[in-house]
Amino acid sequence: DAGVIQSPRHEVTEMGQEVTLRCKPISGHNSLFWYRQTMMRGLELLIYFNNNVPIDDSGMPEDRFSAKMPNASFSTLKIQPSEPRDSAVYFCASSTGTGLGYTFGSGTRLTVV
Amino acid sequence: DAKTTQPPSMDCAEGRAANLPCNHSTISGNEYVYWYRQIHSQGPQYIIHGLKNNETNEMASLIITEDRKSSTLILPHATLRDTAVYYCIVRLNNAGNMLTFGGGTRLMVKP
């Protein structure tokens, strides 16, 4: 298995633009998680899905952020409009129902200028 | 999930054992202890987990005290590639249960 695949690896965009981050979980994993990491706040859970259904989005910072999981093999995290304070590394992770452990993707480094 | 306390940083000489402590005094009976690490610029990586008994795998050993209020992750022969931030997390083992990361311990392995 190729693991959790995130794209793009790096994104530089101007303030006010829409940004879409993509994630392909490991086949057979039925839970998917989006995290954000900054120096100041560390790793924060934004939202997670079980069987494609959003379960907890309390970590989503504001309405500018939205996440979807249209099927078991794809999820997006969208920021519209983007702001400089959204600059961070965004990680996607997936896990099986057993809760044994997560597998993280390599992350997307977002820079909003 | 129970809260954990870890030292912010530690040093270890290459080839020596690295012992990373974690306090989780409010852990409940059905919560597991998980360890993850994050090497610079990469996503966190699962290392090991346990409930009551000590555990060992190809990466590390996990020692959990009898009262389960603390644990130690042991890297038996640390290498430079083990330099990373190590996170101790306690959580229920339910399906889809999320991981909540604290500050972790930044381990620096020195030649």
Contact A92, A23 (CB under 8 A): yes
- Taking CA atoms, A79 is separated from A58, A91, B85, B106, B107, in Å, by 16, 14, 28, 31, 34
Pairwise CB contact (< 8 Å): A31 & B42:
no
Residues of A in contact with B42 (CB under 8 A): 104, 106-107
Nearest Cβ partner of A101 from B46, B96, B103? Answer: B46
Pairwise CB contact (< 8 Å): A98 & B46:
no
A1-19 pLDDT, tens per residue?
Answer: 679 999 999 999 999 999 9
Pairwise CB contact (< 8 Å): A99 & B97:
yes
B39-84 pLDDT, tens per residue?
Answer: 988 999 999 999 998 999 999 999 999 999 999 999 999 999 999 9
A50-91 pLDDT, tens per residue?
Answer: 999 999 898 998 899 999 999 999 999 999 999 999 999 999
User: Which range has the worst mean pLDDT, A15-19, A22-26, A36-40, B95-99?
Assistant: B95-99
Pairwise CB contact (< 8 Å): B95 & A55:
no
User: What pLDDT band is residue B95 in, cutting at 50, 70 and 90?
Assistant: low
**How far is it, in rounded angstroms, from Cα A87 to Cα A92?**
16
Preceding omega of A81 cis (within 30 degrees of 0): yes
Q: Which residue, among B9, B8, B15, has the nearest Cα to B80 in the 3D structure?
A: B15
Q: Which amino acid is at B5?
A: T
